[in-house]
Structure 1
């Protein structure tokens, strides 16, 4: 499992994930907000399976 996401991509995904999960508790309070677990998990691990399939890397080369 190699890291294929840059820091800006990870920050945006983490923010989107937290906002979506917050929608479960505040706002429309629908269970669709739990979909925010996916971007939050990919941000935590730094690896996006869709990026791997498409050959995309947003991280800087070492």
Structure 2
């Protein structure tokens, strides 16, 4: 897996993921568990959707 998520994108994903998961844990709707996805992609630095779409926000891995 080549890194394709970087910078502000990574930070935004982590913050959004934590916020959604906290909402789910503290009585939010069931769909808030989707926060696992942005949290994981932010922490891993790789997004499968970006790979399929040919996108890359990581300046270190751009060609």
After TM superposition, the score normalised by the length of structure 1 is 0.87
- Which runs of 5 or more structure 1 residues have no equivalent in the other structure? none
The aligned runs of 1:12-51 (5 Å cut-off) are 12-26=12-26, 29-51=28-50
1: CA distance between counterparts of 2:15 and 2:60?
A: 24
- Which runs of 5 or more structure 2 residues have no equivalent in the other structure? none
State the Cα distance separating 1:43 from its structure 2 match: 0.4
State the Cα distance separating 1:61 from its structure 2 match: 3.4
The count of aligned residue pairs is 61
After TM superposition, the score normalised by the length of structure 2 is 0.86
